Amino acid sequence: MSKTKLSRRQVLGGLTAAVGFPAVVPASVIGSSTTPAPSEQITLGFIGMGQQGTGKNLRQNFLKQADARVLAVCDVDAERCLTAQGIVHEQYGNKDCDAYNDFREILNRDDIDAVAISTPDHWHAIMSIMAAKAGKDVFCEKPTVSIEEGRVVSDVIRDTGRVLQTGTEDRSLPLYHRMAEMVRNKAIGTLHTIRVGLPCGKSRPAHLDRGKTYKVPDGFDYDLWLGPAPKAQYNPARCHFNFRYIYDYAGGILPDWGMHLVDTAQWANDTERTGPVQVEGMGEFPHDGLYDTAYEFFLKYTYDNGVRMIVRTGKPFLRFEGSEGWIESDGWMKELTASADDILAWERGLNDIHLYTNPAGEQRDFLDCVKSRKEPYFPAEIGHRCATVMHIGTHCMQLGRSLQWDPAKEAYVNDAEAGIPGSLEFGCLRSKIMQAR
């Protein structure tokens, strides 16, 4: 395993300079036969080999695509990285996959066309920007950790002409695709209310003693794991999986689950490239311990078209209410129910609105768009707009009051406190992201 050990100073100091990588001409990605020649395959590097990166993205999806070839894997945890490398070698029956602990090793390779990023959230934006500027197309898990960084990622993807797929499977799932098309085609009349249920964060894992000193495990590059985040004493409850409950690295339940169900809500409301104009509500935050993200909340968003969206904790569900009835999935991917049988019987007509999807999934859609250079079903701009819904909700909970939002300007309206750059930033990347731009 290739390992470049860097100090924290080197990690932080090199980020801004690194985003200036010259464009790299990718290998040929033309052709899609059942058994394409090596020159016709999309070559991939994987960054972040946890459960999502190794289990879902690598083993279950990209390794099964005949026109994709995994050339490298990377993780700051050597054990995870070598496990993923072994999976690739077993699949291909060779030893051609390289393993790294520093993602920049992958970005420096001119034989890699695209990267799949499955790291903690606080690395998503910087890695995506650096990859795009290095000439790579990007498959990156959701979400971003701030409005500002999402805006910059979207702009960089546009300016570099790269393809970026935001990683969520919902748009490829028949249930949610059907719900969005039914609402857009007025199967329930004029939409007026959306109700979104998300899991309660009380089930988050118990944290370990904050006052105790824990030894960094052998083979785990904790400095590189922290990267642009504030310096913090190592604690195993801070890292793998648990990072999502700490605002330095993620946003908690709201963006984690909200990126799924709120995306379908925005899709159905035809607001996927804009957003709400007001948010009000409240949230419950831990009062002590390591975790600090909201674990219960009730938020009410208002859109310029008059639609209101209520997002609350409890259990996952999605419901659309219109002037002529309602449709609902009472759970995660639960069977669709409606206020009347004729609503459930709705079928899309030739002249109805057809929403683009790819039933083969987000990974397949990404590969297809790398070839065609078309926009994938959940591109950077739409992913950014979806994440923004959750970010302004978090700011509302942190301030404890209603906020007015201007989606066109991406700024709070007549609110000096909410508008102070970085004042409510639960991520730590803003200054580095803006410098990178």
Domains of the chain: 8-170 (3.40.50.720), 173-204+247-354+380-427 (3.30.360.10)
Percent of the chain scored above 70 by pLDDT?
85
- Dihedral sign for Cα atoms in the order 33, 36, 41, 46: positive
The pLDDT value recorded for residue 27 is 38
Q: What is the pLDDT of residue 208?
A: 59
Task: Count CB atoms within 10 A of the CB of residue 350.
Answer: 5
Mean pLDDT across the stretch 404-411?
Answer: 97
The arithmetic mean of pLDDT across residues 168-183, rounded, is: 97
Confidence of residue 37 (pLDDT cuts 50, 70, 90): confident
Residue 21: pLDDT above 50? no
160 pLDDT above the threshold of 70 = yes
Is residue 276 reached through a cis peptide bond, with omega within 30 degrees of 0 on the bond before it? no
As a whole number of angstroms, the distance between CA 404 and CA 382 comes to: 21
368 vs 47: CA distance, rounded Å: 21
Q: Residue 38 has what pLDDT? A: 73
Q: What is the C-alpha end-to-end distance of the chain, expressed in Å? A: 32
Burial 116-143 (b: 16+ CB within 10 A, else e): bbbbbbbbbbbbbbbbbbbbbbbbbbbb
| pLDDT score of 17 more than 70 | no
Q: Which residue has the tokens 């990007």?
A: 138
Task: Give the pTM.
Answer: 0.90
- pLDDT tens digit string along 84-121? 999 999 999 999 999 999 999 999 999 999 999 999 99
Residue 189 is which amino acid? G
8 A C-beta contact, residue 115 and residue 131: yes
Coil, strand, or helix at residue 302?
Answer: strand
Two tokens at 311?
A: 């997002």
Residue type, 258: G
The DSSP code for 58 is I
- What are 308's two structure tokens? 């209101």
Task: Please give the pLDDT value at position 287.
Answer: 84
Q: Which residues pair with 314 in a beta bridge?
A: 199
Cα–Cα distance for residue pair 343/361, rounded to 1 Å: 27
Min mean pLDDT across 75-89, 111-125, 218-232, 419-433 is at 419-433
| Strand duo 114-117 + 137-141: pairing | parallel
Confidence band of 23 (pLDDT split at 50, 70, 90): very low
